[in-house]
Amino acid sequence: MSATIPTIAEAARQIAARSLSPVELMEACLGRAAALEPRLNAFIRLDAEAARAAARAAEARILRDGPRGPLDGIPFAHKDIYETAGIPTTAHSRVLEHHVPAADAFTVRRLAEAGVISLGKLATHEFAFGGPSFDLPWPPARNPWNPDHMPAGSSSGTGAAVAAGMILGGTGSDTGGSIRGPAALCGIAGIKPTYGRCSRRGVLPLAQTLDHTGPLAWTVEDCAILLGAMAGHDPNDPASADVPVPDFRGELGRGVTGLRIGLVRHFHEADNPVSAATLKGIEDAAVFFEAEGATVDDVTLPSLAEFNACGWIILLAEAYAVHEAWMRRDPGMYGELLRDRLVLGGLLTAADYLAAQKKRLELTARTAAAAAGCDLLLTAAQPGEAPRIDAVPKWAFLEKPNFTIPFNVTGWPGLTLCTGYGEGGLPVAMQLVGKPWSEPTLFRAGDHYERAMPWRGRRPALLDG
């Protein structure tokens, strides 16, 4: 159990050099899943035999033809809102318990073509919004750093499975922070790309003008590798942008000299004060970037409260529109938490929604003006360590403003990565944010920081049990 778990980049090099077999790698991941899954509930559906067969086929093909690229033979899994042909896609909900799609989501197909091997479907908060819930057909995922705590959501199973080494990477979705939250609380890396960078076709919607798809993995470099496979124009997704897909690893190794970083101090010091460990991690990161040649200056954006009021009105209204027919027909099919949250959307008016969309344009313009002299922004991703899984209030998302939804409102890319550990021994994190289409620069800064820190060498103690 305590054997070294390779990153995607490491495994790719070893597979290409024929010093690591995809079959051996798959067996290692399945072994961890067999040992840990009963405590973590990261998977809704784990198909070990199909994964083994796919690994054998990949190994034979790679031995014959060489690897397709850095993802060939890599153990992977999909959040259970990504549609998979012939395999149930449930959104962790009784409503879709027996839903079997006829086709793969666009990004599922892209990743399969790159050679990833899926172990199955991962837990999520119900329809990417209602969780952690205990009244659904499957239990909620738990945090591998301490199973009494939550892994955040809604990409909860992905965060838990990657951190526990059951998979080397997985898909997530992010409407208000659902990639960056699990990345933060599980001590891994996660990227919400620019709105329109990755197709959402075949991914069950939550709020379509805020929804993003993207990957989670153990390292920033691994996220860059995965995003390279997921990104690309999809003419059948009306929000998909027809922009070139860069080499997301193209700036890695260039350091941070000359980068201008805006520290959004008021987000995490005044608007929603964070824990001492989270604050220290952010401040230490700012000192590190300056010492490495970047310029770090305070930047003032619109308040978190403004972003959150705008973002949540849009999210609730659009989510209710998705679910209205089901809610009217049989609301009891939903878990209590999601059902009660969706009802809020039904109370909003068209005037409320249009006012929020108008406010969104204003907030995006003000953010662009404030960040005009910056290449990147730096702030918190979560207020502290993961809370206990049985102590998350139903209305937690309304009680305090979160740090991630501002960049769903603007559509700007955001990267979360570990900055250390809190008093309880669980991870804390920071959020780096770029301007639209600047993911390579985000990866450049995040990778440079990550390689200088000891966090990537430490896995959850649960793996030693």
Does the active-site annotation cover 275? no
State the Cα–Cα distance between residues 13 and 221, nearest whole angstrom. Answer: 13
- Kindly report the number of other CB atoms within 10 A of residue 254's CB atom: 15
Helix (H) or strand (E) holding 282: helix 276-291
User: Tokens standing for 447?
Assistant: 């990778």
Question: CA Rg, the chain, in Å?
Answer: 20
Among 93, 118, 178, 438, the active-site one is: 178
Half-sphere exposure of 217 (CA within 13 A, CB side): 26
State the Cα–Cα distance between residues 27 and 55, nearest whole angstrom. Answer: 9
Among 133, 154, 173, 240, the active-site one is: 154
Residue type for position 244 = P
State the Cα–Cα distance between residues 10 and 74, nearest whole angstrom. Answer: 11
Does the active-site annotation cover 21? no
- Kindly report the number of other CB atoms within 10 A of residue 250's CB atom: 14
Distances (CA, A) of 200 to 95, 117, 131, 212, 459: 21, 21, 22, 7, 31
Give the burial class of 50: count Cβ atoms within 10 A of its Cβ; 0-12 exposed, 13-18 middle, 19 or more buried.
middle
Q: Quick one: the chain helix, strand, coil %, rounded to 5? A: 40, 15, 40
Does the active-site annotation cover 79? yes
- Quickly tell me which residue has 């199955």 as its tokens: 120
Among 21, 79, 155, 192, the active-site one is: 79
Residues annotated as part of the active site: 79, 154, 178
